[in-house]
Structure 1
Amino acid sequence: MTRTVIVSHSHPALKYGGGEVAAYRQFEHLESLGEDVYFVGSTIGPEDSDKFFGATQQVVSFGPRDFCLRGRGMDGFIMEQGQIDDEDWIVEFLSAFRGDVYHFHHFWNIGAGTIRRLRRALPAARFICTLHEMTAICANHGQMVKTSGELCYAASEVACAACLPGRSPMDFVLRRARLRELLDGFDVLLSPSVFLQKRFEDWGLPPGRVKVIENGLDYPALVGAETEESLARKSTRFAFFGQATPTKGLDVLIRAANLIEEVRSEAEAGPPVQIEVYGLDQSRFATLWPELKIPESVRFRGRYRPQDCIGIMQGYGWIIIPSIWWENSPVIIQEARAAGTPMIASDIGGMAEKTDGWGLQFAVGDPAALATTILSVHGRPEILADFKRRITPPLDLAGFVQEWKTLCDLS
């Protein structure tokens, strides 16, 4: 039987992000099929490691096939471990599985050198990498957002050096060469979106080198048809789901909500707009944007269990994703499709691609445009019903595994 080792830059038991969740769902599904599969995640850096690990502990086991490495942080520019001793033991740990297939979801916290050495140690193994963002292209957290806050449309050595002070154009020449060499060492490169595939092709990878496959998601079947009453109620309800990071655009949503409150206080007509925020509480928001007033229409619901997300989404008319960076294939979009709930999304990157045809889009980073879009559907059950009919279910995990094995020649 083929032995598969799925390696992620993080572990969803400790941090819930799209890449690690996709990796772990893949692991769980393969394990449910009785396949010989292991999962290896990592903590993000020294702070998280000190929280979850003993002083000399290197690995946490969540199960006989489920592990989390102690991440000590690494140089995000060259994507290498800071100490050779850290690289040594990770190579030794991953080698010990003697996997036939190593599928990496990202290489942050694992290290480019680690993967190169593992590749040399196991020449017969098949190496696969899913590119969840643009880390190889962009040294500014892989988001292709300039340090000035502007969106970046293409990487170049001179422009990148101007963006990141202290680095010369030659530094970026060498970085590109090293990371191209790393990617060339994989048998298969995957992307969950056409948008990301095209970005890597524009960067210099040959057309067709990166294959596109959506992340898999298992979900319950929708039960019962919407009534006129439920559509009317939901048409006034909007929700945000996401992490508390500046690039998620939650400040754009709150600014839009303030604009809506101003407009509606003048009109004083119709049911109120209700916006609920899942993933953080109000105090956490205040630490990021202390100057922003929270309007009465907004309620913070705090953290939620990932397995409850789809059920929660079904209680809303529209899910809002206002990220101010490109995004690639946010898990929130798949979950909204599974919930049968249309979206209002920023008009760039994977968000534009993934919501095309069943969602509404607004100019990225523009609170006034978002406010206008929300008001255009608020209290309009007929529009909500129309967009709900357009939604197709996302790729389930059985379909994902079948496509994955075909694309990676694992059948």
Structure 2
Amino acid sequence: MTRTVIVSHSHPNFKYGGGEVAAYRQFQHLESLGEDVYFVGSTIGPEDSAKFFGATQQVLSFSPRDFCLRGRGMDGFIMEQSQIADEDWIVEFLLALRGDVYHFHHFWNIGAGTIRRLRKALPEARFICTLHELTAICANHGQMVKTSGELCYAASEVACAACIGRGPMDFVLRNFRLREMLDQFDVLLSPSEFLRERFEGWGIPKGEIKVIENGLDYDPLGTSETPEELAVKSRRFAFFGQATPTKGLDILIRAANLIEEERAESEDAGPPVQIEIYGLDQNRFAALWPEVAVPSSVRFRGRYRPQDCIEIMKRFGWIIIPSVWWENSPVIIQEARAAGTPMLASDIGGMKEKTEGWGIHFSVGDPAALAAAIGTVHNRPEILAEYKRRITPPLDLAGFVRDWKMLCGLDVGAPAPVIASQTPVLAAAGGTRRRSKR
């Protein structure tokens, strides 16, 4: 019987980001197959923990197999818990689940030291890590965007020291420790070729990282559209995303202002552009970019249920992803493919890779370029129809689990195990078995 423990830096019940969503969908699918699987997420830090946990509470249980740990904050530079006592109980908790396979989606909030100690205690367990972004390479939130706002194309100790404001030797030690931590894993996975190439450029040997797209649960049945419906949708654009500065929503709103200005100067402007924003309200936008006026063509729709995303996307002709950092494999790209809705995307990183052939790219961080891209497809149902025909379905969860097991050397032909009814006793377990090698 194989027991899998899926560990994420966050829990989607509290934060709906791509990495935690991919991890949780994997857990849910394996559980639906009757496999012996657990999910362990975390809260982001002390603020969220104080909202949802009692004064001395360390773990929330959403089900006997679905847990959220209390995140107390950690040292984001060295990726270690700030207090050894926090590392102690996280190690104890993960050990007590007695996994044969530990699949980490990121290591933020879990800690590099936690992984080292768990690996030492369980030398024969299979350790897997999905690299969802560039935290191991970049100390500036893993985004490889300089503190000046410029895109960063490669890390080096001297350049990173100048950017972050620490000594070069700090980065020598950081790089050594994080590469050593990654070496604890039997399998390294990346959802994009872009991310794999960045890690290889940083020093991970070629061939060590396997590329597998994140799985998506969706209804593959498409819908046919009348010419009239296509005409309406060709004038409708949408943004889906979190309220963070690097998502580039200000670029979209600035582009919308440019379009409105051009329409005001035109004698034959035609039907107006319609842009809807999902994921935040206008007050949150104003708090982030108080200097940016919101034109009448933009409507803020606030938060939405993740399970409704694909159906909402089907109402639009184009989804816009204007992020100004190296996105790896944004979940909204898979959701747009599932909805059959093409995209306008920044021309860097995983955004460019994942929309190649069925999306239109524009220069990252350039409102005028985005406004021009919108102008080329606005009110053009024939272009919309052509790009919709180019979309191929994303990898579903069944396909993901099949490929995941194959790439990770797991037994794809074994029958589904019988799940034990009781939750393991939460006590530390040691181990002297030999570690498996990559």
Q: TM-score, normalised by structure 1?
A: 0.99
Aligned position for 2:14: 14
**Pairwise CA distance, 1:315:** 0.2
| 2:3 maps to amino acid | R
Aligned partner of 2:296 in structure 1 is 296
Residue 393 of structure 1: how far off its partner (Å)? 0.3
Paired position in structure 2 for 1:230: 229
Q: Which residue does 1:38 correspond to in 2?
A: 38
Q: Counterpart of 1:197 in 2: which secondary structure? A: helix
Which residue of 2 is the match for residue 266 of structure 1?
265
Matched residue of 1:180: which SS? helix
> Aligned ranges for residues 69-148 of structure 1 at < 5 Å?
69-148=69-148
**How far apart are residue 220 of structure 1 and its match?**
1.2
**Cα-to-partner distance string for 1:319-349 (whole Å, 9 max, x where unaligned):** 0000000100000000000000000000000
Q: CA deviation at 1:124?
A: 1.1
Q: Distance in 2 between matches of 1:337 and 1:63?
A: 32
Are the counterparts in 1 of residues 138 and 144 from structure 2 also a CA contact under 8 Å?
Answer: yes
Relative contact order (alpha carbons < 8 A, sep ≥ 6): 1 or 2 greater?
2
SS of aligned partner of 2:392: coil
Contact 2:220–2:393 under 8 Å retained in 1: no
SS in 1 for 2:107: coil
Q: Which residue of structure 1 lines up, in the alignment, with residue 393 of structure 2?
A: 393
CA distance in 2, matches of 1:291, 1:135: 31
Asked if the contact 1:222/1:339 (under 8 Å) is kept, the reply is no
Q: Secondary structure at the match of 1:251?
A: helix
Q: C-alpha offsets along residues 207-246 of structure 1, whole Å, 9 cap, x if unaligned? A: 0100000000011133431110010000000000000000
2:222 touches 2:340 (CA, 8 Å); kept in 1?
no
Partner of 1:156: 156
Which residue of structure 1 aligns with residue 285 of structure 2?
Answer: 285
- State how far apart, in whole Å, the 2-side matches of 1:74 and 1:218 are: 33
Take 2:28 and 2:223, find their aligned partners in 1: how far apart are those partners?
29
| Residue aligning to 2:184 | 185
Residue 331 of structure 1 corresponds to: 331
* 1:255-299 deviation digits (Å, cap 9, x = unpaired): 000000000111142111000000000000000001110000000
Provide the residue aligned with 1:52 in structure 2. 52
CA deviation profile, 1:132-172 (whole Å, cap 9, x unmatched): 0000000000000000000000000000000011x100000
1:206 and 2:205 matched? yes
| Aligned counterparts of 1:239 and 1:265: Cα–Cα separation in 2 | 22
Structure 1 CA distance for aligned equivalents of residues 15 and 159 of structure 2: 33
Q: Residue 276 of structure 1 aligns with which residue?
A: 276
Q: Secondary structure of 1:217's match? A: coil
Distance 2:248 2:221 in 1: 30
* Partner Cα distance (1:408, 1:221) in 2: 27
Amino-acid identity (%): 82
What secondary structure sits across from 1:37 in the alignment? Answer: strand
Question: Aligned-pair RMSD on alpha carbons?
Answer: 0.5
Question: Which SS does the other structure have where 1:360 is aligned?
Answer: strand
Q: Secondary structure at the match of 1:410?
A: coil
Report SS of the residue matched to 2:320. strand
Instruction: State the Cα distance separating 1:16 from its structure 2 match.
Output: 0.2
Aligned match of 2:195: 196
* Distance in 2 of aligned mates of 1:245 and 1:223: 32
Cα distance in 2 between the residues matched to 1:355 and 1:22: 19
- Provide the residue aligned with 2:239 in structure 1: 240
Amino acid at match of 1:59: V
How many residues of Structure 1 are paired with residues of Structure 2 in the alignment? 410
Given that 1:40 and 1:68 are in contact with CA atoms closer than 8 Å, whether structure 2 keeps it comes out as yes
Amino acid at match of 1:145: V
Distance 1:222 1:156 in 2: 48
Structure 2 unpaired stretches of 5+: 412-438
1:403 aligns with 2:403: yes
Matches of 1:223 and 1:40, distance apart in 2: 34
Distance in 2 between the 1:376 and 1:126 partners? 50
Question: C-alpha separation between the residues in 1 aligned to 2:187 and 2:243?
Answer: 33
Unpaired segments ≥5 residues, structure 1: none
Distance (Å, rounded) in 1 between the aligned partners of 2:210 and 2:318: 31
Query: Does the 8 Å CA contact 1:218/1:397 hold for their aligned counterparts?
Result: yes
Structure 1 residue runs of 4 or more that deviate by more than 2 Å after TM superposition: 221-224
Is the Cα–Cα contact under 8 Å of residues 129 and 188 in structure 2 kept in the other structure?
Answer: yes
Give me the whole-angstrom Cα distance separating, in 2, the residues matched to 1:228 and 1:264. 25
Distance (Å, rounded) in 1 between the aligned partners of 2:326 and 2:88: 35
Partner secondary structure for residue 4 of structure 1: strand
For 2:168, the equivalent position in structure 1 comes to 169
Q: State the match for 2:381 in structure 1.
A: 381
